[in-house]
Each structure stands twice: as structure tokens, then as C-alpha cells.
Amino acid sequence: MHERQHVEIHGHRVSYFAAGEGPPVMLVHGVTGTCAQWEPVAPLLAQRFSVVAPDLLGHGESAKPRGDYSLGAFASGIRDLAIALGHRKVTVVGHSLGGGIAMQFAYQFPEFCERLVLVSSGGLGEEVHPVLRAATLPGAEFVLPLIAGGRVRTAGGFVAGLLDRIGLRPSPDIEEMARGYGSLADGDARRAFVHTLRSVVDPTGQRVNATDRLYLAADMPALIVWGRRDPVIPVSHAATAERAMPGARLEIFERSGHFPQLDAPARFASLLTEFIESTEPAELDAETLRERVLAGRAATA
């Protein structure tokens, strides 16, 4: 991966990597993740595109302020980073929580969004892994240091090493979830995680659903990618997204879990490259958007 770069936006440090030249592609990771979750695919994409992958605020090497960790705030942050780097419009690719951010970005700032790519995305139904629901319970912030402690992380590494020695490779789901929860040993990261998660999940499941607004992106090229074996967000949500976005392309990675871009990076990069190069970027003007909002309001009245 290319060396990390940093920019200050609204007084906060934003860490990111950028590589390549061509049409801009913004890669948005999920909760507890970092831009490193795109490391296997970024060099492949950078052969054709200008790739930008940030650490979201509250994650990785970016600042972890006491502030707003809603989807809207993250979407604004993605827009501001694109502006800071000189990109007028981007294809936005969001994984998990990043998918919810990508949909919010397309909804809030359609003039900045050329294409929408959802990878194992949140925001499309209530079901989500019980561990994430439990992490929103009152007092969870006091339990998380125990989960993220050195002993637990060491045990996770031991299990991964044992699997490797007997010829079974730990899945990216296990590796990334262990790495993500390990990052919560840092108090600032832990507070940001709790604020972020509670903005989209409660003890009953996901509390944010974007399907009632996806019609606004009717002319926006959309690609949905999911792993058939996803244990975090069920693959059935992929069909929900496809129904809400007529014309969207759906690709299921049969042997993948929650991280298809890590399970099959070459296939993922090839699919994304073909999708971008075979579609025309969206051009949604203010009047068209107004007509759709009014039409949607009338349909639900």
C-alpha cells in the first residue's frame, strides 16, 4: 500500500492513502475498520483509477474527537475530503457501515456522486450480528476494554496461529473482527466506536434504513456485492437493495463472508473496474431531484 497521507479538515486530522490516476474512486471502510481493509484491492484499482481510501474520523490514524458520528456527518466528511483532494465527483464504494455512509452520501450530495457501490452494506434491514447489538447496551463502554484487552487479543492470535499450523486459514471475517475489536483498547477509539454504533444500531438491530430514499438515485449506476456466508449482515439484505434500486447490478460471492474484497481481491477489483468502465456517471440536477422528492412524497401520502 502507498504511504499514508494526512490532511486537516475542520481542525481534525484525516489520514488516508491515495494512489493512481483516472476517474476518482472513494473506498469507505466499516466500523472499527481502517483504510487497510482495502489494501489487497487498492493497487489493482489504482492501475485504472485515482483511488482514495480514508480512515474515517474515530478510526485508525484519523482524529477521534468528541463530536458527531452520525451517517450524515461521515458523508459530509467524505465530501469534504474529496473537495480537499480536488475531486469534483467520485464513485463511492462503501463496505458495511461504509455502505450506509455511501448511501447517505448519494442522498445528501448527489451532485458529488457518480456511482454507488455497496459491499455487505448496513442500512438495508434490521438484522445484524448479536455482538454489535450487545455493544449498544447501556454500560457496554465499560465492558469493551475487557473484550479488547491484551489477553483476548493474544488468545485470538493463538487460535489463528493454531488454525494455520493445521492447514486451515483463518477467514478474513475472524481476522478483521479480532483486529477491529483489538483497536478498542484505545479509549478515544472506544468512545468513537460506541457513538458510531449507537447512531445506527440498538439492542433490537439496525435502526437506520435507507430503502425508502433509494428511489432518488434511480439513474445512478449501482453495484451491490455480498458474500453468501456473511455472518454479520445477512445476504438477504442484498435482494432488498436490488429491489429498492431498479437497474442495480447484484453480485454474490458464494464462498465469501463479510469481507468479499479481502476474500477475493482480484475478482472484486476486476468486477469494480468493469462496472465503472461500462457505465456512465450519474448527472442528477437539482430540478430532477426536486421532482423525485415531490413524487415520492405524493406516493406515500
Q: Which residues are the active-site residues?
A: 96, 230, 258
Give 157's contacts (C-beta < 8 A, 6+ positions apart): 178
Strands (E), the chain: 5-9, 12-19, 24-28, 50-54, 90-95, 113-119, 201-202, 205-206, 222-227, 249-253
SS3 202: strand
Instruction: Tell me how far apart the alpha carbons of residues 180 and 173 are, in angstroms, rounded to a whole number.
Output: 10
Largest CA distance in the chain: 61
User: Rounded to whole angstroms, how far apart are CA atoms 119 and 97?
Assistant: 9
Distances (CA, A) of 34 to 70, 97, 192, 300: 17, 12, 13, 39
